[in-house]
Structure 1
Amino acid sequence: MTAKLELSQQQLSKKSALLGTASLFVALVPISLAPVLTKLCEREIGANAVAFHRAWIATIIFGLWCGLEAVSSQKSNNQPIEQKPLTKGELALLFCMGTAGTTYFLLWAWSLTQTSVANVALLSNLNSLFVGLVGYLVFGRRFDHRFVVGMVMAVGGAIAFELNKVQLATDQILGDGLALLTAIFMATYLMLVERLRTRFSTATIMLWRCGVTAMFLLPVLPVVENRLLPYTSMGWFFIIFQALFCQVFGQGLLAYSLSKLSSGVVAVTLLFEPVLASLFAWLIFNEEVSFYDWITFIVILLGIYLAQSSQSADKATN
């Protein structure tokens, strides 16, 4: 009986991991297109204005989503755990998560105006190293050898892929520093969302994340930006499309995957983002992809596979 129960739990764990992996890879599509869409938005308004519009639009969507969840729960007999009173610790975690998400997005958008997209992609995607390091030193997590080897391969492949595109210039030091800070706050955000997903739904977490961003930017936006609104219909289109596609769909799926996978594995899988962006450029814009690039793609994919198939990928083991 015990053996059957353990086998059933293992099958459920595998199905959960597969579902989380699938949602994460789908999320990579809008996430990989976000830098291009942000650059297009920044033709008419500044980085902070882009972040604000993306946040308030997404806040409305997730607010409606939470409302629908509340209505459906009232009609059913199953009462969700979120109806329990919030503790001060949970409120603090939600606020910290929203602050970390706000900070990493603002730093990321700002870094795109100060350095090249390749530099931002390389430095900001080092968040997997910070997730692993903080998880080991602060939370006492232990990663198996398969995960460590996979992470090293994926990070090494990502660095090798971006290295020949990186621009080293003294006037880009600020942007490079902002991109590195982005990685630190992104790692913090992933670990906080992973912890909160045991208590809150995706819609609730994203409502807090986007709501904190909008509330933080609303009073300071007139001070830090000269132009607050796009001046063409195409500018508004890119703003709305980015909010719906990148924030609601992409970041929502990312938060959902953290209920199935550990933050360490999610961070490693996100290293596929610049690869996917290059493949889109190859397919859509016919940009050249060299044999060297294909080799790095394979190395990154192998690293992600090793990390995904390790015991550390199981959220329950962490």
Structure 2
Amino acid sequence: MTNPDRSLPAPRTWTGPLMVLIGGVAIGFAPIGMRLGLGDLGPQAIAFWRYTFALPFLLALVFIIQRRPPARPNRFVFIAGTLFTLDMALWHWGLTLTTVSNATFIVNLGNVLVGFGAWYFLKQRPAPVWFAAAALAVLGAAALSLGGDSGGKGDLRGDLLAFGAAIMVSGYMLASNVARRTLGGIETIFWLTCVEVCVAGLIVAASGERFFPETLAGFRAPFSLALIAQIGGQAMIVSGLGRTSPALAGLLVLVQPVVAAAVSWRLFDEPLSGVQTGGALIILCAVWLAQRGRKPQVAVD
């Protein structure tokens, strides 16, 4: 007689981390799209339209996947959406005051802080191997961000803004993880995007940037970001958070700067130095090491 337990499929504990990893790859195209769109819109306006264009697609996906209207959001959706939007705003502001390398390195520290935040606030102690992976990730991020031309003079004000962005992104990951406990992935990202549209609109108004480009062609970059970074990137990450610990997710999304650097190399003819190439490889090793020590998560669909 066949053992009924053996006939059951094994839990797919790899699906959540894979979704987060794919989302991190997609998010890696965000700075590329931002750079391509700066001739038509300011950075805050590009972010606003990225969220706005994504919203109707996400609502349609909710009805297609869930076959019902989106469930009522919980308070952690509002916290996560606000933190993510502030992260983007502080990151863009910091880039105007300090070097790109400094800002990139500092903001990526937020992905490492997620593990410590989950340990302190959610009582989720990372696996021992995570600490080694986190140390490698910091080393790799430093080499990738600081190993090339600094592109200007650092400024403490910009560095502090980038550090603020790092705090915001770690809070966003933690709050999104908690929000996913009572909501499906697609409806969570829908409500997150609703919050981001509102907060980003206020930021654009406060910054003095214009909302509309001079021609319709100016919408190409934010529309592409809506499809790739918001729907393909952020939505995949948030969905994967229902099956992935925040600590592991924080390190997996560090594939983002590696993708951005590789695309910039080909698209903008910006080759990486030997130190930067080594940093990218170290980050990939850290990502591999982190997922080796992952703990299975209870799936939240």
TM-score w.r.t. length of structure 1:
0.82
The answer for the alignment partner of 2:51 in structure 1 is: 55
Residues paired across the two proteins, number: 296
Per the TM alignment, residue 41 of structure 1 is displaced from its structure 2 partner at its CA by 2.2
1:16 aligns with 2:10: no
Change (3 A) 1:226 1:198: closer
Alignment of 1:1-318 (within 5 A): 11-12=10-11, 15-17=12-14, 19-70=15-66, 72=67, 91-165=74-148, 166=150, 169-170=153-154, 172-218=155-201, 221-312=204-295, 314-316=296-298
Q: Which amino acid aligns with 1:169?
A: K
Distance, in Å, in 1 between the alignment partners of 2:203 and 2:130 is 42
Change (3 A) 1:287 1:214: closer
SS in 1 for 2:199: helix
Which stretch shifts more, 292-301 or 53-62? 292-301
Instruction: Could you tell me which runs of 5 or more consecutive residues in structure 2 were left unpaired when the two chains were aligned.
Output: none
Q: Which amino acid aligns with 1:16?
A: T
Change (3 A) 1:154 1:232: same
Distance, in Å, in 2 between the alignment partners of 1:156 and 1:7 is 45
Give identity over the alignment, percent: 23
Per the TM alignment, residue 167 of structure 1 is displaced from its structure 2 partner at its CA by 5.4
Change (3 A) 1:163 1:65: same
Determine if contact 1:35/1:117 at 8 Å carries over to the other structure.
no
Distance, in Å, in 1 between the alignment partners of 2:8 and 2:178 is 25
Bigger helix fraction: 1
Determine if contact 1:155/1:268 at 8 Å carries over to the other structure.
no
Determine if contact 1:48/1:217 at 8 Å carries over to the other structure.
yes
Which stretch shifts more, 233-242 or 288-297? 288-297
Distance, in Å, in 2 between the alignment partners of 1:153 and 1:217 is 34
SS in 1 for 2:20: helix
Determine if contact 2:258/2:280 at 8 Å carries over to the other structure.
yes
